[in-house]
Each structure stands twice: as C-alpha cells, then as structure tokens.
Amino acid sequence: MRSIQSWLDEYGTSHRNATNKSIHWICVPAIFFSIVGLLYSIPLPFHLGGLQVTVAHIALVLVLLYYFRLSPSLSMGMLVFVLLCLWAWRVLDSLGATPWILSLIIFVVAWIGQFIGHKIEGAKPSFFKDLQFLLIGPAWLLSFIYRKAGIPF
C-alpha cells in the first residue's frame, strides 16, 4: 500500500503552477461538495435516529475509511469537511433548494475551472493516470493546512 506522502508527492507533480493551485483551492472542494450533494439527493428507504439516510451517508463512510487507511490524522480533517458538506446540503434542502440541480451546476462549473487550471499548468489531471487521485486532491489541499498548523499527517 502506498503511503499518503507518496500519493501527495505524485499529485503535486502536476500541480506546480500558482494559478492552477489557486484554481484547485476553489474547485476541488466545490467538486467534492457537489458530489456529496448529488449523492445526498438519493434517499435510502430508512432513517437513523430521525435522520433520512442517503447514498451520500454510505459513500462518505467508505471515503472516510479510505482516508483513514492512508492517514488517520488527515481522515479527521476530512471528517470535519464531510460533516460540513452534509450539514450544508441539509440546510440548503430545508430552504427549498433542489440539491441535485445545484450540485450539477457546481460540478460542471468547477470541472471547467479544473481543466482551465490544467491547461495553464500544461499537465493532464492526475486522475487520468489513477482514479484514486480524485480522492487525493482534497487530502492534498488539507495537507497544506496541516503543514501550516504544524499538524503531522
């Protein structure tokens, strides 16, 4: 099994341009948020403690297990982000937003941004090499926050 540092280092090789990095700081969380919203839009036929369980809840448990396997420390940061995403979609849903439509718009716009960033970078997105890089992107950004805060990962 590859180490988290190995994944982050390889991801970083196609993310050196400052403009591309800036775009990623906006678009990677937006894409993650939009996918959570799309999956949140698919209810499952049961509740847990009064909470409507959705495909997002199940998928995010699996995603968090993936992160935990790579880095227990980073998985805690991702848990916070996951909970914020779920909370935001619950609030938006309660305000009458249609999560799947809003998610789809965010998803498309954010991916356009990502491809513009990679055009500027002059490198293909990492996920063309390995789909796991779709999950490494958020951890890569979080690793910068951890470094600044002095939190080991």
Phi, psi of 73, deg, nearest 5: -65, -50
From 55, 29, 28, 61, select the one nearest 41 (Cα to Cα).
Answer: 55
pLDDT digits (tens, 9 = 90+) for 11-44: 999 999 999 999 999 999 999 999 999 999 999 9
- The stretch 36-57 carries a mean pLDDT of 96
Encoded tokens for 120? 């500027």
pLDDT > 90 fraction of the chain, expressed in percent and rounded: 97
**29: domain range?**
17-147
Q: At what angle do helices 133-149 and 18-40 cross, to 10 degrees?
A: 120
Kindly state whether residue 152 falls inside one of the protein's structural domains: no
Kindly state whether residue 153 falls inside one of the protein's structural domains: no
pTM of the predicted structure, to 2 decimals: 0.95
Distance from the first to the final alpha carbon of the chain: 16
Kindly state whether residue 109 falls inside one of the protein's structural domains: yes
Q: How far apart are CA 78 and CA 80, in angstroms?
A: 5
Q: Report whether pLDDT(143) > 90.
A: yes
pLDDT digits (tens, 9 = 90+) for 85-136: 999 999 999 999 999 999 999 999 999 999 999 999 999 999 999 999 999 9
Residues 6+ apart with CB under 8 A from 72: none
Kindly state whether residue 6 falls inside one of the protein's structural domains: no
Kindly state whether residue 3 falls inside one of the protein's structural domains: no
Q: Domain count for the chain, please give it.
A: 1
